[in-house]
Amino acid sequence: DVKVTQSSRYLVKRTGEKVFLECVQDMDHENMFWYRQDPGLGLRLIYFSYDVKMKEKGDIPEGYSVSREKKERFSLILESASTNQTSMYLCASSFVNLNTEAFFGQGTRLTVV
Amino acid sequence: GESVGLHLPTLSVQEGDNSIINCAYSNSASDYFIWYKQESGKGPQFIIDIRSNMDKRQGQRVTVLLNKTVKHLSLQIAATQPGDSAVYFCAENMGTYKYIFGTGTRLKVLA
């Protein structure tokens, strides 16, 4: 079974803190994604990576950065957390082949106070 | 509790009945579609997919129908069970890395 593991289920951080969300996949997938999920808005893509050290901005990259130093690991960084970044964050991975499903982690619910 | 589903349309179905969940997709160029199930507090889980050269695909207790003319996708769940209670959403893909996700429908199974 494909496994995508996010380091934390729940996080509470203070405004202005630097926050790291970690994601690891064990299926040797080339593609990795970070989404946020908010009520009524569905999943919105923050960043995408198709290879080690490669990254592409998604639809809502402002306030975020990412790091992919190893194929299996994709990190999302909130440089200075703000209350409007309170959300559910979902990591996903997929093969580079077109028309394949994305596999998701269990999600990290981040609250910024 | 999980707040993801607060504003979602809800489908209530009696246990044992069939469920039909609908999705209107946005891009006529999309050629691959996926249905996901998301239980409270968990990440989305793949259910079934379909490519644009098909109009129907069946899995175990689930069937996906694709109508490209009206850009409509549906998920049918046979003999709905309490464990089917979740949020269901569709995703479309145009053969790129980008998936476009629907906002979802909450399925409630009544005992």
**Is residue B1 pLDDT above 60, yes or no?**
no
Angle (nearest 5°) at CA B34 between A70 and B70? 140
The model's confidence at residue B3, banded by pLDDT at 50, 70 and 90, is very low
Q: Which domain holds residue A30?
A: 4-112
- Tally of structural domains, chain A: 1
The model's confidence at residue A14, banded by pLDDT at 50, 70 and 90, is very high
H-helix or E-strand containing B35?
strand B32-38
The model's confidence at residue B2, banded by pLDDT at 50, 70 and 90, is very low
Arithmetic mean of pLDDT over chain B: 90
Domain limits, chain B: 10-110
> What CATH number does the domain containing A54 carry?
2.60.40.10
Residues A43, B101: C-beta atoms closer than 8 Å: yes
Residues B3, A105: C-beta atoms closer than 8 Å: no
CA pair distance A39, A53, nearest whole angstrom: 32
Arithmetic mean of pLDDT over chain A: 94
Which residue of chain A comes nearest to B94, CA vs CA?
A: A99
CATH number of B10-110: 2.60.40.10
- Model pLDDT for residues B11-32, shown as the tens digit of each residue: 999 999 999 999 999 888 899 9
- Per CB-CB distance under 8 Å, the chain A contacts of B3 are 39
Asked if residues B40 and B24 have their Cβ atoms less than 8 Å apart, the reply is no
CA pair distance B110, B14, nearest whole angstrom: 5
Per DSSP, the three-state class of A85 is: helix
